[in-house]
Chain A
C-alpha cells in the first residue's frame, strides 16, 4: 500500500469551505470518483485521508494537499487527476497527484501573498517604519504575545493595477503556527485597513531549512 498525495488549489468559492466541511467534501468526491482509495477498517468504514496544515476560512491557497492510501498496483496518476478535476467543487483544481515524498510534519513555514486594494499602499508602507509589532496569539488554553516583526520585518509591496500585493512567510510547524490573519487584524486595528478587504493566498510550504516542501 502506498500513500498518495493529491495537491490542489483552493480558491474563490472553495476558500469558504471550512476544514471540517472539506473533509466531507473530499470524502464524497473520492467516493464519486470510484478511484481505488483505501477505506479504514471498522464498524463505519470511511476513506482514509489526512490534510496538511489547515487553511483558515476565507483564505485561498495554491498549495493544499490531502494524502490518501491505495493498494492499487501502478496507479495511473494522470487519470486520477483528471477524474478528480471532473467532479471537484468550483474553485478546487487538482494540479498534481503522486506518491508522497515528504511527510507533512516536515512543513516548517507557510508563505502567503496578501493583497489589498491599491489605495492601501501608502498606509501599508507605514508598517515598515514600526519598531515593534506585538500581536496576541490565542490558542485553546492560553493567549501569548508574539513579536510579528521577527517573522515579517517589512512588507515588500508590489502594485499591480487595482491591487497591491506583498509576500510573507510564517512559521507553520507543530511548535508554532502563525496565521496571516494576525497581521491583517493588526493592520486593521493599527491603520484602519478593513480586514475584510484583504485577500490572503497561501503560495507554498517550506521545510525547516527553507527548501520547497513536496
Chain B
C-alpha cells in the first residue's frame, strides 16, 4: 500500500491516476545504486507533460546511463495541490515517490511563458527556496532548458543553470559533472557551476550582471567571472542520425493529450516565417535518414503498443525522403493496425500521393496554417503560401473525402489592417464555396474552422523589434472578424488577448520581472495558461504595486541598436540578419526557404559548413 497520506490525498482528487506513476515503460532503479538522481519536471499537468516529446528523448537518454536515474514530476492540478498542502506532502516524482529535495538536480522544461508561476508552485510544494542565491550546495541544482531558455531572463534568478539549445549532449554533460563532483566530495556550488559553465550552451545567470539606463532600457550585460563568455552559443547536434529517436515511451494510462507514438523526423525549419520563434531557434534544419526513422518507428510501436504513429517536426512535408519513408512505414503499419498521421503539413507541397499514404487506416480532419488573410500580409510574415495553393490543397482533400478543414490564422501581425482581417473571413468563405462547387456526398456539409491566435512578438525573430497590439486593438479586430463571417459553415475560435499580453511581457522581459512573478504566485496566480485559473486583474495589481510597467516590455518598439535582455544569447542567427529580415517584412518582400537559397542568417557556422548541398536539385 502507498504512504497513507498519499493514499488519502488520492482518495479525494479527480483523476488520481495522474499522480501514481507505474505506467508501462517507466524506469525503476535501486536508488542506493545510482550516482545521479535527476527529477525532470514539467510545469503543467500530467496530461500536458506526458504529451511532450522532449521529455521522452531525455528520459530515455539519461536512463540509458546505468548509474543515473531520471524520474518525472508534474504540476498537480488545483485539487491535488490543495490536498498536498493540507497533508504536508512534498512534491514527489512519479517513479520513486521521493520528494524533489532528495535529488541531485531538478530540471524544468520551459515550453511556455505562462507556465513560469507553476515552476514557483512546484519549487514551493517541494519546500525548495525560490531564488538561486538562497540555495547553498545542500539543495538540488535547479536547471532549465527548452525554447523559452532563449530569453528566460524574467525567471533567470530562480535558476542555477539554464541550457540553451539542444539537450542531447548537454544534459548528460551536466549530470557527468554532478557525478564527478559528488565523487570528489567537497566541491562548492560555485565551483560546480564554474565547471558546468564550460559545457556548450550552458548559461549560469549568476555569472552575469545586468545594468540599466535611466529610461529603463538595458545598458549592458557583462560576465562577472573570469573565463565566462560574453555570449553563450546554443548547443546543437550536428548530425541527428547520431541520435536515434526514443524507441521506448512511458505510455500514459490516464489520457494524455498527445497519446500516440511519435518520431521526430527533422529538427529546425527551412521556411523562415518571420513570426515563428521555433523557426529561428532550431536552425539549421537537419533531417534524419528515412531508413533510421522507419526502424525506430517500428520498434517504438512494438515497444509501446500504440496504434497511431505521428511523424512530428516543425514542417514534416519538408523532409526530403518523406514519400520514401511513408512507403516504408506502409509496409508494416497497416498489418500491425497502426495508423499514420502527419501533424505539420504545408499547403504548398501537399500532394495527392501524400494524402493517400497517410489515410490508409484512418481519416481525420485537415488542418492548415494560412496565418494571414491576404497575400500582402502573408508576404510580410514570409508565409509563402498563395490562395492558389490553398485552393489546390483543399481540392485534393475534398476529393479525398475530407469535409472538415481547420485554418489557422494570427491577428495583430505587423502592418496588419482591417482589410487583412476581412481577408481571413474571405479565405474561409472561398473554401466553403469551393466545397460546394465540387462533387460532394449528398447531404454532407463542409465545416471550416477559423482558429485565430493573437500574434506575440518573440525574441530572436525579425519581429522582436515590433510592439504588440494592445488588448483593445486585438478585441476590435476579433469583433471585426466575427462581423465579416457570413456563413454558418464557418466557425470562429479566437484566443484570449489578455493571456497573450502577459505572454508578450514575459517573452521579451528582463530580470526585473522576477519579483513580479514571485509576488503574483504568492497572491494565488498559477496555471496562468488555463483560462479558468488566469487572474488578469491580480497580475495587473501586482505590476502596479511593484511599480513595473508591463507595456514597457511588449508594447514599445525596440530600437534596432538596443541592448535586448537576450542579447547575450547566441542562437547562431546574426543581428544583421534579423534587421535585414525586418526591413524586408516592412517592404512585404519574401525570403526563399533555406534549402533553395541561403539567406545568410549565420546559423551555418553552428555546423561549420553550408547547411545544404545546393548543387543538388532539392524539393
A-to-B contact residues, CB < 8 Å: 12-14, 16-18, 21, 24-25, 27-32, 34, 39, 44-46, 57-58, 87-91, 117, 194-197, 199
Scan B1-25; emit 1 where CB is below 8 A from any A CB, else 0.
Answer: 1101001111110001101111110
What residues on A are CB-neighbors of B23 within 8 Å?
A: 89-90
What residues on A are CB-neighbors of B26 within 8 Å?
A: 90
Are B11 and A89 closer than 8 Å at their CB atoms? Answer: no
What residues on B are CB-neighbors of A117 within 8 Å?
A: 4
Are A21 and B255 closer than 8 Å at their CB atoms? Answer: yes
Of the candidate stretches B157-165, B184-192, B299-307, the one touching chain A is B299-307
* CB of B577 to closest CB in A, whole Å: 47
What residues on B are CB-neighbors of A89 within 8 Å?
A: 22-24, 253
* CB of B83 to closest CB in A, whole Å: 9
Distance in angstroms between the alpha carbons of A1 and B492 in the assembled complex: 52
Distance in angstroms between the alpha carbons of A34 and B8 in the assembled complex: 38
Are A25 and B11 closer than 8 Å at their CB atoms? Answer: no
Distance in angstroms between the alpha carbons of A197 and B87 in the assembled complex: 13
10 contacts between A and B (CB under 8 A): A16-B20, A30-B305, A31-B337, A39-B337, A89-B24, A90-B22, A90-B28, A196-B9, A196-B12, A197-B4
Distance in angstroms between the alpha carbons of A32 and B253 in the assembled complex: 15
Are B306 and A28 closer than 8 Å at their CB atoms? Answer: yes
Checking B10, B22, B251, B254 against A58 with a beta-carbon cut-off of 8 angstroms, the contacting residue is B10
Distance in angstroms between the alpha carbons of A3 and B606 in the assembled complex: 60
| CB nearest neighbor in B for A28 | B305
* CB of B248 to closest CB in A, whole Å: 11
Checking A12, A194, A195 against B2 with a beta-carbon cut-off of 8 angstroms, the contacting residue is A12
Number of interface residues of B (CB under 8 A): 31
Are B24 and A27 closer than 8 Å at their CB atoms? Answer: no
| CB nearest neighbor in B for A30 | B305
B488: interface (CB < 8 Å): no
What residues on A are CB-neighbors of B442 within 8 Å?
A: none
Scan B294-313; emit 1 where CB is below 8 A from any A CB, else 0.
Answer: 00000000111111000000
Q: Given A12-B22, A89-B24, A90-B26, decide whether A25 and B253 contact each other with a Cβ distance below 8 A.
A: yes
Checking A57, A88, A90, A195 against B16 with a beta-carbon cut-off of 8 angstroms, the contacting residue is A57
Are B305 and A195 closer than 8 Å at their CB atoms? Answer: no
What residues on A are CB-neighbors of B486 within 8 Å?
A: none
| CB nearest neighbor in A for B254 | A21
| CB nearest neighbor in B for A25 | B253
| CB nearest neighbor in B for A21 | B253
| CB nearest neighbor in A for B83 | A196
What residues on B are CB-neighbors of A196 within 8 Å?
A: 7-12
* CB of B51 to closest CB in A, whole Å: 15
Instruction: Tell me the chain B residues, 555-579 only, with Cβ under 8 Å from chain A.
Output: none
* 3 nearest CB pairs, A to B: A90-B22, A28-B305, A13-B22
What residues on B are CB-neighbors of A17 within 8 Å?
A: 17, 253-254
Distance in angstroms between the alpha carbons of A32 and B10 in the assembled complex: 29
Q: Given A12-B1, A16-B16, A87-B24, decide whether A45 and B253 contact each other with a Cβ distance below 8 A.
A: no
What residues on A are CB-neighbors of B10 within 8 Å?
A: 16, 58, 196
Distance in angstroms between the alpha carbons of A44 and B362 in the assembled complex: 8
Are A58 and B21 closer than 8 Å at their CB atoms? Answer: no
Are B24 and A29 closer than 8 Å at their CB atoms? Answer: yes
| CB nearest neighbor in B for A201 | B1
Are B305 and A58 closer than 8 Å at their CB atoms? Answer: no
Are A199 and B1 closer than 8 Å at their CB atoms? Answer: yes
What residues on B are CB-neighbors of A29 within 8 Å?
A: 24, 305
Distance in angstroms between the alpha carbons of A88 and B24 in the assembled complex: 6
